Chains A and B, each alone.
Chain A
Amino acid sequence: DVKVTQSSRYLVKRTGEKVFLECVQDMDHENMFWYRQDPGLGLRLIYFSYDVKMKEKGDIPEGYSVSREKKERFSLILESASTNQTSMYLCASSLPDRGYGYTFGSGTRLTVV
């Protein structure tokens, strides 16, 4: 069964910590995405990548960075975690085909205290 795997379901970190959220897909997809989901704000795109070592900013990149050293892995990095980054983080992957759709991971609920 093809899948997108996020390394943690729940994570609690302290303010100022550097946080790594990992996402791995086994479908050989070129495109990978990081979203955050907050009540009343829907899904907001943080960063995406369309190839190894390639990345583009989404709608809310401030406070985040990403890394894609291998095709199957896309990491989201919170350089210095803050309480306003408490959220559900969703990773997704896709083929470069506008009709294909995304496959999502199960999400990581991050709490910054």
Chain B
Amino acid sequence: GDSVTQMEGPVTLSEEAFLTINCTYTATGYPSLFWYVQYPGEGLQLLLKATKADDKGSNKGFEATYRKETTSFHLEKGSVQVSDSAVYFCALPAPGYSSASKIIFGSGTRLSIRP
């Protein structure tokens, strides 16, 4: 079935370092792909999305490119800040539910940024 696999955490980086969080997916067809972020004690927020192959989603300095050749949607940021410390979830829509837009979430990657 459809699924997402993302890299295990925690990931610890120094401020201003380059960030990559890997995400690969298995899907029927070419669904939209999402990255969500969860700051400590909060719910999840949609960070960015891409709706078709080769699309690049971007927001708050983060980017991810929908690559169908490698079935990947890796999250990147050129220079991380302490405020980026959070848990990041890769996700895609579940197949076959036309009346309810269920989403399949990855297990989450915890990111900690050292000052």
Contact = CB atoms under 8 A, between A and B. Distances in A.
B31 A101 contact: no
B42 A106 contact: yes
Contact of B46 (A33, A49, A90, A102): A102
A103 B108 contact: no
Nearest to A99: B32
Chain A at the B interface: SS class: strand
Interface in A31-49: 31, 33, 42-43, 45, 48-49
Interface residues of A, number: 28
Chain B at the A interface: SS class: loop
Nearest to A41: B107
B79 interface: no
Contact of B93 (A42, A49, A98): A98
Interface in A1-43: 4, 6, 31, 33, 42-43
A62 interface: no
A103 B53 CA distance: 23
Contacts of A107: 41-43
Contact of A98 (B31, B42, B108): B31
A64 interface: no
Contacts of B100: 31, 48-50, 56, 96
Interface in A88-110: 90, 92, 94-107
A36 B93 CA distance: 18
Contacts of A4: 43
